[in-house]
Amino acid sequence: MGGFIAKESEKFERFSDWFDNVLLTARIADNRYPVKGFIVYLENGWFVIERVRRRLEELLEEDGHLPMYYPLVATLENFSREAEHIKGFMGEVFAVGKLRTGENEAQQETPLILRPTSETIMYPMFALWISNHSDLPLKVHQSCAVYRYETKATRALYRVREIPWNEAHTAHASRGEAEEQVRKAVEIYRKVLDELGIAYLILRRPDFDKFAGAEYSIAFDAWNPDGKVNQVATVHNLGTNFSRVFGIVFEKREGGKEYAWQLCYGFGYSRVLAAVIAQHGDDLGPIFPPWVAPIQIVVVPIPYKGREAEVYEYAKRVYGLLRPGFRVRLDDREDVTPGEKYYYWERRGVPLRVEVGPRDVEKSAVVLARRDTGEKFSVPIEMLREEVAKVLEDIARSLSERSKRRLSEQIVDAPSLEEGARNVELGKICRVSWCGSEECALSLKSSLGAEVRGYRYDVDEKSDRPCIVCGSPGKTYLYVSRAY
């Protein structure tokens, strides 16, 4: 069998069909659950999420975040305390209460709110714990699900009503310390996303699109084959907006009282999983970066008439050599042809295949076949473990490089509104010169028929062109595209 050239046309031409098909075939998720916006995570999808969760939590805890778990429900009263916050979220909250079972049942109690995010659940507790500068900084995190009554069309993993994520919340003694934590949070998220080979832009959102109750918001927008960017993580500087309404006050070192400076940041597990599938996948299905792959290596014996026993025996030996340290599967099903097995595991995203046939037995070698490039090459068995480790590393690197290339191809400079609108239509992320006025940014939204995602946070991009809207001197560049 010759190697194939990985083709990835399907996901660009018919993204929804391709994605839905991959979710089921690769055992990632099943979106046929009979409640709109709720899905079942299958073994492979949940495996990836669990790996990512552990890595993220490890990094957060190294940075001093304490793992905690807070209740799912908030009182309507607490939820309503921060004016901007409730304005931003009121349209999408789930409310719960006791099910009424009879006509004579007492008056219905005030419903509780299912957390759409946990500020209003955590901060009343912060107010109890924080009274002195020595109580700060306080950094906590939890992995949980949040609930948002999504009214637009839902899409598995991208736009769902039950969202598995990690949220971190911090309180600091000064604006400066809070700012420093913004940078640390960005670095932590960047690290996890980079390890997954996901390509993204870190953008500071325009003020009209910041998190409800925040001073400013920073977001990670990952590219998607259909041209709609996928916001996978956000970091919000809350200033003292919440500490004022929840009474989070501390005694300063030098005397006097001050409101705590707060941040919150969230990392969406399902959207990150979607980005892994959408950015790395090809016509056959997903290609999992090795460190999160449910199965990293599959060993496929290629039996030859009369020499079956020998080949199976050898395959078992190869499997035994790889088992410590790698997630490996031996596919020794006898009623399935090797070609069918290749296809089966390729469609499940296994990054590396080891083939063993009679010639390999004779040569004391194996053939390695890469899922990402289709390349095949022979490796002596005494070098097996080192070679496999090297190839897996190389697969991770090349997935990441390919994805970064794709992102840079997807970004285009639009010198005029007409050209911008045309590029949005083609699924591009448009970079446009901007004078800095909110009015111009807002008008871009309607004239380009897309979302204004913001300007670069990690790169200081100075514009030397006129603002695309008003023509006055540009300050920086705004990124505009369709979005999930």
Residue 438 CB, nearest distance to Zn ion (Å)?
Answer: 10
CA distance 209 to 207: 5
Question: CA separation (Å) from 365 to 253, 313, 355?
Answer: 68, 14, 10
Q: Collapsing DSSP states into helix, strand and coil, what is residue 304?
A: coil
Site for Zn ion in 359-398 (CB under 5 A): none
Residue 434 CB, nearest distance to Zn ion (Å)?
Answer: 6
Question: CA triplet 390, 396, 401: central angle to 5 degrees?
Answer: 120
Q: How many residues bind Zn ion, per CB under 5 A?
A: 6
Q: Does 399 bind Zn ion (CB under 5 A)?
A: no
CA distance 321 to 59: 32
CA distance 453 to 234: 12
CB closer to Zn ion out of 144 and 442:
442
Residue 206 CB, nearest distance to Zn ion (Å)?
Answer: 12
Residue 430 CB, nearest distance to Zn ion (Å)?
Answer: 15
CB closer to Zn ion out of 53 and 431:
431
Question: How many Å separate Cα 360 from the centre of its chain?
Answer: 41
Q: Does 60 bind Zn ion (CB under 5 A)?
A: no
CB closer to Zn ion out of 437 and 476:
437
CA distance 145 to 269: 10
Q: Does 440 bind Zn ion (CB under 5 A)?
A: yes
CA-closest candidate to residue 463, choices 473, 476, 472: 476
CB closer to Zn ion out of 173 and 440:
440
CA distance 456 to 477: 8
Residue 346's contacts (CB-CB under 8 Å, 6 or more residues apart) are 284, 285, 353, 371
Bond from prior residue into 137 cis (ω within 30 degrees of 0): yes
Residue 215 CB, nearest distance to Zn ion (Å)?
Answer: 23
| Amino acid present at 225 | P
Residue 445 CB, nearest distance to Zn ion (Å)?
Answer: 13
Site for Zn ion in 442-481 (CB under 5 A): 467, 469-470
Which run of H or of E encompasses 201? strand 200-204
CA distance 261 to 238: 7
Which run of H or of E encompasses 315? helix 308-322
Residue 183's contacts (CB-CB under 8 Å, 6 or more residues apart) are none
* Side-chain half-sphere CA neighbours of 219 within 13 A: 24
CB closer to Zn ion out of 176 and 471:
471
CB closer to Zn ion out of 125 and 470:
470
CB closer to Zn ion out of 76 and 470:
470
Which run of H or of E encompasses 228? strand 228-239
Residue 326 CB, nearest distance to Zn ion (Å)?
Answer: 55
What character string, x for contact with Zn ion (CB under 5 A) and - otherwise, covers 282-311? ------------------------------
Residue 451 CB, nearest distance to Zn ion (Å)?
Answer: 18
Site for Zn ion in 416-435 (CB under 5 A): 435
CB closer to Zn ion out of 11 and 453:
453
Residue 436 CB, nearest distance to Zn ion (Å)?
Answer: 7
CB closer to Zn ion out of 236 and 431:
431
Contact residues: Zn ion, CB under 5 A: 435, 437, 440, 467, 469-470
